[in-house]
Structures are given as C-alpha cells and as structure tokens.
Chains A and B, each alone.
Chain A
Amino acid sequence: MKKAGVTILILASIGFAFKIKAEFGFKSPDNWPKPAYNFSNNPLADEKVFLGRVLFYDPILSLDSTISCSSCHLSYVGFTHVDHSLSHGIFDRVGTRNSPVLINLAWNKYFMWDGAVNHLDVQALAPISHESEMNEKPEHVLLKLNRSRLYAQLFKNAFEDSAITGERTLKALSQFMLTLVSNNAKYDSVKRGESHFTEQEQHGYDLFRNDCSKCHTEPLFTNGEFENNKLPVDTLLKDEGRFKITGYEKDKYKFKVPTLRNIEFSYPYMHDGRFKTLSQVMEHYTQKSGYANTFTSIDKVDLIAFLLTLSDKNFLFNPDHAYPREILKK
C-alpha cells in the first residue's frame, strides 16, 4: 500500500514536471530562464502555429503583394537578411537598420534595435506599416485576408470560426515566431554532457566568459538590454538608437544586444550591418572599442572557434520553419 502511494507520488511529480516544461503548449529547454512571453494569453496550438507560418511567408501582408516577413527574415540564416547591411523592402526601398535575427523570441522583452516595440504580438505592425518595408495599412491587410478562401479555412481551423481580426492575425504570427527556438548547437550538446569542446573551442569559451558574457549572457547569449558598444556614429544614418524612444541622454547610441546564436550565418553584423565578417567584429572589440585589448591574434581565432559552436543546423533547416509550399504554391 505504501509502495503504491509512493509510485503515485512519483508519477504525479513527473506529470507536474512535464506540465511545467510544456506549459500552454510551449516547451522551454531545461535550465533556461522563464520566457518573457505570457503564454496564458495565447496558448500555442498546432493550427494557430501553422496559420502564423503561412502568414509569415505570404506577401499578402504588403501593399503590392511582393514582400513577406521572410523577405528579410530567411530561415536558413537564422531568420535575418543575409548579405544586406540595410534591408530593402517594397519598391526596392532601403531601410535604416540591419534586419535582426528571429531566434528565441519568447525570452525577449523588447523588439527592434531600439526596443520601440514592447510585445511580440504587436511587432509585426511595424514592418507591415513601414513605408520602406511592406508599406501597407494593417486594416487593409485584414480586408485582403477576409476576401481569401484560404484564410477563411485556416482561421476556422485555428479558432473554430472563420472571423479574421487583427488580434487573431497578430497572435497567430506570434505563435509561429515563438516556435523559433534554437537550442541544439554544439554548445548545447556540451552543456548537456553529450559532447566536448575542442581545446581551441574551450579556450575561446573561457575568453568569452571573461570578456563577452556580461552582455551576451548564456544560454540566450544576450542580456536583453540596450548597450552602447562604442561604434562610431554613421554620419549618414545618424542613428541615436534607444534615445529616440526614451528621450534619456544616457540611452544615446544604445542598441539592443543581439543573440550570438547562429552568428556564423547571420552576417552582416551590428545594427547597421557595417561588419561583414566575424574578424571585423573581433577587430572592433579588441582594438577600436577597447573592450578586450589584451587579446592576442590566437585568442581572437579561438574566440571565433567558440562562436561557431553556436550554430544550430537543426534549427536552421527545420522543415517546420520553412516556406509552406503545400499551401502557398496555389
């Protein structure tokens, strides 16, 4: 009898632990911080995630149906616009900032380089409305979606009726973006005890922990805050960063600290994409900014070797993140 009681207790504990890990349909990796996103207001469901994925890849969100979210956020490079320092959008218009990666967004408190957007649900409104990105009115997007048989069905599948509202559309986009979790790089397998760093990678990791991790904090490789990393101000863009939002002098030239996960593929780097290679980034931090000016040339190479252990091919080539060919080819 006592044995049965213990068994029940153990099973209940396992059930409870599972519930914590997969709360509201979202599975947070072991030992990661609590997500910032409140899933109780938008519990993940397969049909909603799929609707969000279709919307993400559909240029219907733009004025002339030429630009989708994926135009500037390509899955196989960490959902950024590879090789473009400043993203271009509708009518070949060029924006003023480098397209950020979309990785582990559930842990983000602020969005955009200056934190202008305070919640993932409303993030998509910015590129949809921006004249150099999609140049479309959100209310007109709803009109177009409401005329579509495809979306009538997809919304019905997701929400049990086919009503298409701004809230539903934005929350579906959030659902897809919340599934973009990267936690299967070599770094992660080392942390789980399934693999080992090479001597070079370990040396790079030691350097990283000493000199970089204050801002690029593990396991997300960002502290989620805004920092001034002493980049010279671009005289054409004159971007004052976070200051534009808060108006506080102390926030001048501060930008959101980006994650370093999949950095091997997400070039160019910095808010304005001024550096094309990791060597140039290293040059800035070790020589020009004075952050780590004792680094030797071997240190720099070893640190880059460590950064390459943050590449997560399972994430980059996950078919669940890819263009929904079976739906949008029609």
Chain B
Amino acid sequence: MPAKRSILFIILCGHLYAQSQANKTIKFIPVFDQQTIQEGIYISNGNQDSVQFNTLKFYLSGVQLFKKEKKVWAEENSYHLVNVFDPKHYDIKIKDVEFDKINFSLGLDSTINNSGALGGDLDPTTGMYWAWQSGYINVKIEGKYKTRDNKINDFSYHLGGYLFPFVTIQSLELELNNSNTSVIYIDLSLFIQSIDFNNQKDVMSPGSGAVKLSSILVKCFRAKQ
C-alpha cells in the first residue's frame, strides 16, 4: 500500500510539473526570398548565380513577450544557441501566455562575453567561441556561392565582437501571431545580396565588417514569409 501511494504521488508530481512547464515554441526557418533553404542545396540568387548554406547558427538572448504593449513574460537566463539545420536546436521554448510581439537580441552582450567559462548553450567548446581573442561568435554563416560561369567561392561569416566601437549584438522586435508554434523566418537573400563576393567572402574577426553584416542580418528576421 505505501508503495502504491508513492507511485501515485510521483505521477501527481509529474503531472503538476508538466503543467507548470507547459510552453509554446518559436521555430526558426531559413528562406531565400520565397524558397526554404535546405542544408547544402543550391538555391538560385535570381541572377543566374546560386548559393548554398552549410552552417547557420546564432545566439539569441533576452527573450521578452508583449501583449498590447505590456510585457507579459521575460525569460530568465535567456541565452539560446540556435542551429537552423539541426532539428534538436532550431527552435526555442517560451512560456504559454497570450502575446502579440516578441523582443530579443541577436547575439550576446558584454557581460556574458566577460564571464569566463559558462555552461549549456554558452559552453565555450561549442564552436561558437574565439579561442585566440576572447569573445563569442554571435552568428556563424558558412556556404558556397556559385557564379553563372561555375566559379565556386566558399564563404564564412563569423560575426561577433563586444568591445566598442565594434559591438555586434543587435536588438530585434517582431509582431508575431500567437500560436503554439510561432515561426520566425530568416530571409538570407538580403544578406547575400549585400555582399561583394570578390572582396568580402570571409569575415571571421571583430571589426567594422562584422558590425556592418550584423546590422544587415538582423533585418533578415521577419514574422511572415
């Protein structure tokens, strides 16, 4: 009998825990104009050139939800590493509340960048940390650009930097439909079309190039396809 009671107690606790943890999901989908981007598959750039993406990872921090301009939820310790090509990491969980707008930052702030070794998504051995000069890589975009005459350029954009004047963290605010799974699209056509591949096929350190591309990338996030 005591064993039965214990089992019932555990089931009840589990149920209550599940209720308290009930949440919604924000899913990130990469697109190129109207086409969904798939890892390693070429997509037309609309000018007879084409582009493929092999890596698209980014840090997202400071998630807040609003309803009619009133803050209804702010996530504590809000740091996420999103990998849009990995189904285990292409979404984030948010609290189950009514909302019509979301705020977050693309990247990590100076405090986190100065905090030494952290855990979870912020573990500096996830491949999103510069070893030779302290600081997180806020965004990693890697792929290939194929010109109409079949010349292929590999490109790597590792965008980060937290020291003035090369601060790369970007704030973002989106009006978002309230549902169990809300989608944020990342339209990389704007990003790719802003790049001169003859002169800037790689940016892999903090500096003016990383700041410029970060400010363009943040405009690629949108609520509607």
Interface residues of A (CB under 8 A from B): 38, 41-42, 116-122, 125-126, 128-130, 138-139, 141-142, 165-171, 174, 245-247
Contacts and interface: CB of A to CB of B under 8 A. Distances in A.
Contacts of A121: 116-117
Given A121-B117, A165-B123, A167-B118, 12 more contacts: A38-B116, A42-B116, A120-B116, A121-B116, A126-B131, A129-B132, A138-B124, A166-B126, A167-B117, A167-B119, A171-B116, A174-B116
Nearest to A140: B125
Contacts of A169: 125
Nearest to A37: B116
B6 interface: no
Nearest to A114: B133
B133 A138 contact: no
A166 B123 contact: yes
A170 B114 CA distance: 15
A118 B123 contact: no
Nearest to A120: B116
A165 B134 contact: no
User: Main SS of the interface on chain A?
Assistant: helix
Interface of B: 113-119, 123-127, 129, 131-135, 163, 166, 207
A132 to B, nearest CB: 12
A166 B122 CA distance: 10
A168 to B, nearest CB: 8
B58 to A, nearest CB: 18
A119 B131 contact: no
B117 A122 contact: yes
A170 B133 contact: no
B89 to A, nearest CB: 15
A117 B117 contact: no
Contact of B116 (A41, A129, A245, A246): A41
A122 B129 contact: yes
Nearest to A245: B133
Contacts of A41: 115-116
Q: Which of A122, A139, A169 has the most CB of B within 10 A?
A: A122
15 contacts: A42-B116, A116-B133, A117-B133, A117-B134, A119-B117, A121-B117, A122-B124, A138-B131, A139-B126, A141-B125, A165-B123, A169-B125, A170-B116, A171-B116, A247-B166
B125 A138 contact: yes
Contact of B114 (A118, A174, A246, A247): A118
Contacts of B114: 118-119
Contacts of A38: 116
Contacts of B117: 119, 121-122, 166-167, 170-171, 174
Nearest to B133: A116
A274 to B, nearest CB: 23
A141 B127 CA distance: 12
Nearest to A139: B125
A139 B134 CA distance: 17
Contacts of B116: 38, 41-42, 119-122, 170-171, 174
Contact of B123 (A141, A167, A174, A247): A167
Nearest to A130: B132
Nearest to A166: B125
Nearest to A172: B117
Contacts of B129: 122, 125
Nearest to A110: B134
Contacts of A170: 116-117, 124
A122 B125 contact: no
A247 B209 CA distance: 14
A139 B124 CA distance: 9
Given A120-B116, A122-B134, A130-B132, A139 B163 contact: no
A245 B161 CA distance: 11
